[in-house]
Structure 1
Amino acid sequence: MYLLWSITMVNVLIDQPSRVYLHENVPLPVNAGITKGMTFYTKKECLAAIKSWHVKQSRDYHIEKSDTTRFVIKCDKPPCQFALRAAYSKKTELWGIATISNSHTCVSVGMSQDHRRLDTAMLCCMAAMVCDNIVPLLKNNLGVTVKFIIDHIRAKFNYTISYRKAWSAKNKAIEHIYGSWVQSYRDLPRWLMAMEKWVSGTVIRLETSPTAIHGEVHFERLFWAFKPCIEGFAHCKPIVQVDGTFLTGKYKGTLLLAVAQDGNAHIFPVAYAIVEGETKDAWIFFLKHLRENVTPQENICLISDRHASIKSAFENPSNGWNHSSSHVYCIRHIAQNFMRAIKNRKLRKYAVNMGYAPSEPTFMYWRHKIAKKSPTALAWVDDLPKPKWTQAYDGGIRWGHMTSNLAEAMNSVFKDIRGLPITALVQATYYRMAKLFVTRGKQSAAVFASGQQYTEACQERISEAVHKSNSHVVNQFDRQNYTFIVEETEDPHEGRPMDIFKVELKEKMCDCGKFQALHLPCSHVIAACSHAILSYEPFIDDVYKAATVFAVYDRPFPAVRNQGLWPDYLGDVVCPRLDMKRTKRGRPKNSRIRTEMDEFEKRENRCGLCRVPGHKCHECPNAAGPSN
């Protein structure tokens, strides 16, 4: 296999400034072997070819001499007499293989866990040969995982490289595309000025701290929210879910997200922040600007986990949340805390059912089941404020959202951009939201233009309720106040001890609790309306109307002009904090740590070398044996 090593390709692989040569490019048979007389433009090209061949052949060497004009190596496994000398020619201005003494007599077939010659620069080169250049791969798909790179290196070179080396190679490719991490911090203020100029109404709050060097400041925190998102939130459900996810690039940090949901059950991101971590000060910074600039409406419900920092930030009077809004907990995190305290999976299920119970009788049904099993568990759940974690006692403020899964889902969506330099990360949120508004705007406009009155998600729920209402028996008790008794003729499910429900249409109340929780007519309400020859449509909240969803995305996302037209930034240079630089030791984290609230089956153990089940790495038949 022959590979054309053009100077453009070399610059991509080793991230070196372009150089101009007077001679033409020549094909170099790197994968075919190393032969005397081969020439290369630079020493790095020459070393990369030597390394590549030795790694491919499962052989190693030690360096005898290495300077600006010579590179001499010998095999490090005696009695093998292999030696190679490469040198720079002043006449041709090329590096070449001058001499090769003997051939390798050492043999090492099979797979090795790593190779010491696989440094990160070499790895970028190999990844390019395997994937036709890792840089275009990352341009087309930022979600290329480290495991994907490891698998391709294993398939091509018969070596399983370490996670750290693959992670470093990916970062080198990211730096080539988006620039260095340090320079990205310096470019950040100029990009923020460009957004303020062309995406008018965008809320940006940047916090910095002084350094010992005059004219430089440390980056501390950044909050931003786009105007179309702020205006669109006014037509969404009055709930906000917040969560944080760590960054995976060269500098540590946390990306905080605030998301909502439109009337068609679509996730709607409303605000972002990059902070040092999920600390008390960081959450105060985020929630304060979120309340002041994005969600100033009354009766907003904030859904989060039971993080003490979030609770403290919410209750801080200066942030404005505790006056006319509510803070409730994610039921999955309640279940996690329950397992840590009680350690009983069956009782945890009962506790989760208590949270999801739409009515008080159903809530008491599951509470009695816990009381029979464990007084300790009962005392634990009774210690929690009911409006904070139960649907039966929240008054419908959480609109049926019992978890913070919307924010968790957005964390997974943004997982591929969390490893980008900071300016590229902020830019990615802008371009993705602009694309989202175009796509969702077309969809909602088509539904609205077709004359459809309600969203698809709403119609699906209503259709189920209408079908179920056909089996109900209705008796009217109060003609003036429209009070009904609705009896279900089907057998009730477990957790549904009642089969007779009181419906009060004027009060918008049903004993089942679903009417109040979802702000949609349940089957009992629909049956009562049918009995009284009334339309149930007035009891559907406006947020579920097609016109309302159309209003969410009916706002243009202005385009940011070319970088050459960006305004000049004359302020202090923004630099990253040195203590936020990620340590070089250990495996970089790239996914959320699983806890008690994660349900997953025990996975089959696999070999750490070849990933085949049934044996361990020290018993692997593919492991490399001693050289002969």
Structure 2
Amino acid sequence: MRKVIVVDDTHLYGKYKGVMLSTVAQDTENHIYPIVFYVIDMENDAYWTFFYEKLKSIVVDGPDLCFISDRHKSIANGITKAYNHAHHEYCMRHLGKNLWVNHHYGEHLYLFYNTAKAYSSEEFSNHFVEFKNYCPEEAFFLEHELGFGKWSRQYFPNNRFNVMIKNIAELVNSMLIAEREYSVASIFNSIDKRFGEIFRERRVYVLKYKDNKFVRASEKILKDNMSEGESFYVENVSGDERKFTMFNSGCTAKVDLLERSCSCWKFDLVKIPCDHAMATLRLKHDEDYGLRVYDYSSP
């Protein structure tokens, strides 16, 4: 699994009500992988902290671990108490909805999304300045009260790959909408049955494609990036076989193959060669080098 854990809660509608907490991750093929479910009376710091303490027996604490959630205070407090080294970031869509509903900035909401999804610091700065011109109070809140590291891709201290929202947890909740009216025992029996079938199917899939260097999701991204990179002019300016410079319509990008980095930051943050890197690999070797040889060891 990618070390990006999405945390969510959903209300139960049975006789005894309650709230079901859940953590969900994804594998490299973008399949959803439910990790833990937990039913409680109500959300508070004590319940969330207990939840995370139990989760630590499965998901080990570390600086390469990332949690994504909404802005419920008990979620953040529980992570802080149980996980000393992991990072926590807010769901981009949840913050956007808050700006739209509570602050009535729906007309300029796209500027916030552009800022949050920006890869490079220059791209981030350009979008944020534009957003700040239209929404100064919200920009102040995002910059000084939340901090850039809590919601933006560029300033997040770890790596969240391409996961910017918590929709994978919401999808699991929607799958269980009928079960949420059952008793607690019936809910978990249904979860065991439903996801047990999914995991068995997934295991068959993994065994079938285990000899492939790439899973299909990443292979499609690489092919698209290779196609987009066909228009680039590539030069080995420094004479270093691992460093190349890309030119296209006045834009310049620099790729370091050994460090797996690019000045556009997509290679660095998503961990899949961007269009600049694929153009470099084509020049350095041959047409399908990026698909045949690149070691996709990181999700």
| TM-score (norm: length of structure 1) | 0.45
Q: Provide the rounded CA distance (Å) in 1 between the counterparts of 2:281 and 2:6.
A: 34
1:539 to partner: Cα distance = 4.8
Contact 2:214 2:296 in 1 (8 A): no
Q: Provide the rounded CA distance (Å) in 1 between the counterparts of 2:198 and 2:139.
A: 45
Q: Provide the rounded CA distance (Å) in 1 between the counterparts of 2:158 and 2:283.
A: 26
Contact 2:105 2:135 in 1 (8 A): no
Verify: 1:511 aligned to 2:263, yes or no. Answer: yes
- Amino acid aligned to 2:281: C
Verify: 1:536 aligned to 2:290, yes or no. Answer: yes
Contact 2:66 2:158 in 1 (8 A): no
Verify: 1:412 aligned to 2:166, yes or no. Answer: no
Contact 1:262 1:543 in 2 (8 A): no
Aligned to 2:72: 307
Which of these residues, 102, 107, 115, is aligned with residue 346 of structure 1?
A: 107
Verify: 1:263 aligned to 2:24, yes or no. Answer: no
Q: Provide the rounded CA distance (Å) in 2 between the counterparts of 1:512 and 1:524.
A: 9
Q: Provide the rounded CA distance (Å) in 2 between the counterparts of 1:460 and 1:269.
A: 25
Map 1:564-575 → 2, pairs under 5 A: none
1:469 to partner: Cα distance = 1.1
Q: Provide the rounded CA distance (Å) in 1 between the counterparts of 2:294 and 2:43.
A: 41
Aligned to 2:9: 244
- Residue 327 of structure 1: SS of its match in structure 2? strand
Report the structure number with the largest CA radius of gyration: 1
1:523 to partner: Cα distance = 0.7
Structure with the higher helix share, 1 or 2: 2
1:499 to partner: Cα distance = 2.3
Aligned to 2:137: 376
1:480 to partner: Cα distance = 3.4
Contact 1:521 1:540 in 2 (8 A): no
- Amino acid aligned to 2:272: L
Aligned to 2:159: 397
1:472 to partner: Cα distance = 0.9
Q: Provide the rounded CA distance (Å) in 2 between the counterparts of 1:251 and 1:447.
A: 45
Q: Provide the rounded CA distance (Å) in 2 between the counterparts of 1:287 and 1:397.
A: 21
Verify: 1:527 aligned to 2:279, yes or no. Answer: yes
Contact 2:222 2:290 in 1 (8 A): no
Deviations 1:275-296 (A, max 9, x none): 11222212111111112x1101
Contact 2:111 2:130 in 1 (8 A): yes
Map 1:40-439 → 2, pairs under 5 A: 236-291=1-56, 293-296=57-60, 298=62, 299-316=64-81, 319=82, 321-323=83-85, 325-340=86-101, 342-383=103-144, 384-394=146-156, 397-439=159-201
| TM-score (norm: length of structure 2) | 0.91
Deviations 1:193-219 (A, max 9, x none): xxxxxxxxxxxxxxxxxxxxxxxxxxx
Which of these residues, 212, 216, 220, is aligned with residue 452 of structure 1?
A: 212
Identity of aligned residues (%): 25
Contact 1:315 1:322 in 2 (8 A): yes
Aligned to 1:485: 245
Deviations 1:275-330 (A, max 9, x none): 11222212111111112x110152111111111111111111xx1x122x111110
Call closer, same or farther: CA 1:301–1:374 in 2, change over 3 Å: closer
Unaligned runs of at least 5 residues, structure 2:
none
Q: Provide the rounded CA distance (Å) in 1 between the counterparts of 2:268 and 2:89.
A: 17
1:447 to partner: Cα distance = 2.2
Call closer, same or farther: CA 1:396–1:285 in 2, change over 3 Å: closer
Q: Provide the rounded CA distance (Å) in 2 between the counterparts of 1:380 and 1:245.
A: 27
Equivalent pairs counted in the alignment come to 294
1:377 to partner: Cα distance = 3.3
1:503 to partner: Cα distance = 1.4
Q: Provide the rounded CA distance (Å) in 1 between the counterparts of 2:114 and 2:176.
A: 31
1:540 to partner: Cα distance = 4.7
Q: Provide the rounded CA distance (Å) in 1 between the counterparts of 2:158 and 2:216.
A: 22
Contact 1:481 1:506 in 2 (8 A): no
Call closer, same or farther: CA 1:341–1:445 in 2, change over 3 Å: same
Contact 1:275 1:282 in 2 (8 A): yes
Q: Provide the rounded CA distance (Å) in 2 between the counterparts of 1:287 and 1:418.
A: 22
1:459 to partner: Cα distance = 1.1
1:445 to partner: Cα distance = 1.9
- Residue 477 of structure 1: SS of its match in structure 2? coil
Greater shift in the superposed pair: 368-377 or 454-463: 368-377
- Amino acid aligned to 1:401: V
